[in-house]
Amino acid sequence: MIALSIKTLLLTAYGLDGALPAIVATPAFGVLFISRVTAVLVATQATGSSALQVHTRYRFTSTTPDPEGRARCVSLGLQCHGNTLGASCFHFGQLSYVAAMTVTKTIRAGEVTAPTVAGRWRVELALTIRLAVPMALTQFGQIVMMTTDLVLIGRLGDAALAAAALAHTVLFAAFTLGMGLVSAVAPLASQAYGARQPRMVRRALRVGLWAAVILGVPMTLVQFRGEDILVALGQLPQAAALAGRYLTGMAGAIIPAWAFIALRNFMGAVDRPAPALWITLTAIPINAVVAYTLIYGAFGLPAFDLRGAGLATTLVDVGMCAAAVWVAYARRPFKKYRVLGRLWRPDWRLFVKLVVVGLPISGALLLEYGLFAAAALLMGRISTSAVAAHQIALQTAALLYMVPFGIALAGTVRVGHAAGRRDSLATRRAGFVAIGLAVAFMGLMTVIVGAARQVIPLLFLGTNTPQSADTIALAATLLALGATFFISDGLQTAAGGALRGLNDTGVPMLFSALSFWGVGFVSCVWLAFPMGLGAIGVWIGLSLGTAVYAGLLMWRFHALTARHYLPAVSAAT
């Protein structure tokens, strides 16, 4: 048996897949604010004479609490018995450890056991949930603000509400194009964080902010031509004019909204997603007050109707972006990354990598959302009740989608951390934990939605009247059909997030084209019209396309991680 005699112990929480973790000795009586220590492992065989000494130097720069380190230390089964090991966990730089008591103690190797396989999976599940909850709630907050705007616009009349829908069509196409680029900040920053390269974390955010500005300027100008675009697409001039007023007010929201997403992804990448949530929650009531004031006129200001709604969105997005910049710049633990340092400095190599990773994300999003837009047009060819029922079922799915989307963001971060550490087993574990968590949640929601399918339409339509009876019945049927759609949608979302953590976005975009259009759209048209299934056929087609996409993404992630694939991580220069 091996015996280890030391003065003070530091047990790293990384590299646990090997044998005994590294033992670090220092003459300091307190393990705080250490700038450099020397690791010494002395192993003496019970039978004999040989001793092995390994010297490794580490530099620590911060004392930020690390919940991941604490969880990993707990998974080791370390407990405080007298003067054996202390229970305090700290975080220096990106190295987590347990600080020992400062008395001489002999610890036998058998007393420090590596975590079990089940223990590693439990820890991964806990860490994923800890990241996913604030991320999902942040998305819910965004939905709440959008819903508030639509409710206030709806009081202006049906024409205003229809114009807002048309305006969002133009805005959405432009916004999605840049959303993929700023979303790529998450995997790049996460991998740098896992690789213990804080400068690369800052650079990943920097190129994301540059992308928001470079692409945002022309996309903002496009919004001022929104009326002309809608007229060219065959919309009525009156409706296009109203939509144009809304777009001119909202045009300035694109750059700050993209910048906020980049900053939010940076915060998540360094395991601190909560500030983005608090900013969003604070913005919800502010958005309601500002939107009401500018739409209807209050506090001495005139009523700006639809343009006021757009201006309110711009002002709130600018405020959220400013708050996120201040938190990232001035608050711990983000302050140490100096996110505004050398912001003006070009970083074209990393910028190109951001584009390579991010543009396919935008492409996949456009292909997916394009299918659902096409499905709405198909419903319009069937009946008015079909359109209304489809919208009810789709809005229900969109609300449920926020949770697996948050899980997918967490999966991207967790897989990216493991990829940065060059831990292929951990990348596989992190991805499948995220996928399993998303499927479990959507499975539970499917049961609940199925049981409440007769009640959910009433939340949208109010009381059950003879005029709405057909819509309620059809919506209930579509919600029942959504059983397969909800689960496969959660699966494909989480699997896509896991693949992004490996920078694998090009092949998933091709899968998206094949699944959503080669299978989904063709099935929608064929089942709805030649087969005569109508709205039910459209939803079966949507379910088939989503299921194929989910299966392909699952296969892709399994194939990559089974051969221990790891992406190249950019080195700090």
What are 134-154's pLDDT values in tens digits? 999 998 888 888 888 877 887
Could you please report the per-residue DSSP string of 163-198?
Answer: HHHHHHHHHHHHHHHHHHHHHTHHHHHHHHHHTT-H
Task: Read off the pLDDT of residues 160-218 as tens digits, 9 standing for 90 and up.
Answer: 777 787 788 788 888 888 898 999 999 999 999 988 888 888 889 999 999 999 999 99
Q: What is the pTM of this model?
A: 0.75
User: What Cα–Cα distance (Å) separates residue 261 from each residue in 216, 325, 408?
Assistant: 13, 11, 15
Average pLDDT on 321-332 reads: 90
Distance (Å, whole) CA 458 – CA 470: 12
Q: Based on the domain organization, do 496 and 364 belong to the same domain?
A: yes
Please check the confidence at residue 279 and state whether its pLDDT lies above 90: yes
Contact 259, 212 (CB under 8 A): yes
Task: Read off the pLDDT of residues 531-562 as tens digits, 9 standing for 90 and up.
Answer: 888 888 999 999 999 999 999 999 999 999 99
Give residues with Cβ within 8 angstroms of 117, minimum separation 6.
none
Average pLDDT on 385-393 reads: 80
Q: Which pLDDT value is given to residue 433?
A: 94
Task: Read off the pLDDT of residues 497-523 as tens digits, 9 standing for 90 and up.
Answer: 999 999 999 999 999 999 999 999 999
Contact 261, 325 (CB under 8 A): no
Distance from CA of residue 16 to its chain's centroid?
27
In a domain, 571, yes or no: no
Q: Which pLDDT value is given to residue 44?
A: 29
Q: Based on the domain organization, do 253 and 324 belong to the same domain?
A: yes
Please check the confidence at residue 256 and state whether its pLDDT lies above 80: yes
Q: Which two tokens stand for residue 193?
A: 């964080």
Eight-class DSSP state of 42: -
In a domain, 389, yes or no: yes
Q: Based on the domain organization, do 29 and 51 belong to the same domain?
A: yes
Q: Which two tokens stand for residue 8?
A: 């003070």
Q: Based on the domain organization, do 480 and 532 belong to the same domain?
A: yes
Q: Which pLDDT value is given to residue 465?
A: 66
Q: Which pLDDT value is given to residue 482?
A: 77
Q: Based on the domain organization, do 198 and 168 belong to the same domain?
A: yes
Choose between 407 and 74: higher pLDDT.
407
Task: Tell how strand 89-92 and strand 37-40 pair up.
Answer: unpaired
Domain boundary among 295, 322, 346: 346
Give residues with Cβ within 8 angstroms of 183, minimum separation 6.
261, 265, 358, 361, 500
Domain boundary among 59, 87, 115: 115
Q: Which pLDDT value is given to residue 507?
A: 94
Please check the confidence at residue 474 and state whether its pLDDT lies above 90: no
Q: Based on the domain organization, do 291 and 205 belong to the same domain?
A: yes
Q: Which pLDDT value is given to residue 113?
A: 54
For helices 469-500 and 348-382, the axis angle rounded to 10 degrees is: 160
Give residues with Cβ within 8 angstroms of 38, minimum separation 6.
24, 25, 26, 55, 56, 57
Please check the confidence at residue 240 and state whether its pLDDT lies above 90: no
Domain boundary among 346, 379, 410: 346
Sequence letter at residue 506 = G
Please check the confidence at residue 354 and state whether its pLDDT lies above 50: yes
Q: Which pLDDT value is given to residue 467?
A: 64
H-run or E-run covering 322 = helix 305-330
Q: How confident is the model at residue 571 (pLDDT cuts 50, 70, 90)?
A: low
3-state secondary structure at position 4: strand
For helices 348-382 and 158-183, the axis angle rounded to 10 degrees is: 150
Q: Based on the domain organization, do 532 and 542 belong to the same domain?
A: yes
Choose between 215 and 331: higher pLDDT.
215
Distance (Å, whole) CA 72 – CA 427: 16
Q: Which of 483, 409, 494 is nearest to 447 (CA)?
A: 483
Could you please report the per-residue DSSP string of 64-107?
Answer: ---HHHHHHHHHTT----TTS----EEEETTEEEEEPPSS-EEE
Q: Which of 569, 562, 439, 573 is nearest to 495 (CA)?
A: 439
What integer best gives the mean pLDDT of the chain? 77
Distance (Å, whole) CA 1 – CA 497: 45
In a domain, 352, yes or no: no
Please check the confidence at residue 107 and state whether its pLDDT lies above 60: no
| CB-count exposure of residue 110 (10 Å: 0-12, 13-18, 19+) | exposed
Q: Which pLDDT value is given to residue 91?
A: 34
Q: Based on the domain organization, do 149 and 298 belong to the same domain?
A: yes
Please check the confidence at residue 317 and state whether its pLDDT lies above 90: yes
Q: Which pLDDT value is given to residue 227?
A: 86
H-run or E-run covering 198 = helix 198-223
β-sheet bridge partners, residue 10 = 24, 99
Task: Read off the pLDDT of residues 7-55 as tens digits, 9 standing for 90 and up.
Answer: 223 333 333 333 333 333 333 323 333 333 333 333 323 333 333 333 3
The parent domain of residue 293 ranges over 117-346
Buried b (16+ CB within 10 A) or exposed e, 382-403: beebbbbbbebbbebbeebbbb
Q: Which two tokens stand for residue 393?
A: 């079922």
Distance (Å, whole) CA 205 – CA 552: 30
Q: Which residue has the tokens 């989307």?
A: 405
Sequence letter at residue 415 = V
Please check the confidence at residue 124 and state whether its pLDDT lies above 80: yes
Q: How confident is the model at residue 100 (pLDDT cuts 50, 70, 90)?
A: very low
Q: How confident is the model at residue 75 (pLDDT cuts 50, 70, 90)?
A: very low
Please check the confidence at residue 400 and state whether its pLDDT lies above 60: yes
Question: Whats the size of the chain, residue-wise?
Answer: 573
Distance (Å, whole) CA 147 – CA 143: 6
Instruction: Indicate the range of 153-162, 332-341, 377-386, 488-497 predicted with least confidence.
Output: 153-162
Q: Which residue has the tokens 């030391």?
A: 6
Q: Which pLDDT value is given to residue 399?
A: 82
Please check the confidence at residue 56 and state whether its pLDDT lies above 60: no
Q: Which pLDDT value is given to residue 114?
A: 57
Q: Which pLDDT value is given to residue 115?
A: 64
Distance (Å, whole) CA 412 – CA 493: 11
Q: Which residue has the tokens 């690390």?
A: 66
Q: Based on the domain organization, do 539 and 521 belong to the same domain?
A: yes
Top mean pLDDT of 101-105, 368-372, 480-484, 560-564 is at: 560-564
Distance (Å, whole) CA 551 – CA 553: 6
Q: Which pLDDT value is given to residue 395?
A: 79
Greatest C-alpha distance within the chain: 93
Q: How confident is the model at residue 464 (pLDDT cuts 50, 70, 90)?
A: low
Give the total number of structural domains in the chain.
Answer: 3
Instruction: Indicate the range of 17-31, 101-115, 283-297, 300-314 predicted with least confidence.
Output: 17-31
Q: Based on the domain organization, do 302 and 392 belong to the same domain?
A: no
Q: Based on the domain organization, do 330 and 396 belong to the same domain?
A: no
Q: Based on the domain organization, do 195 and 214 belong to the same domain?
A: yes
Eight-class DSSP state of 355: H
Task: Read off the pLDDT of residues 401-456 as tens digits, 9 standing for 90 and up.
Answer: 888 999 999 999 999 999 999 988 999 999 999 999 999 999 998 888 888 888 88
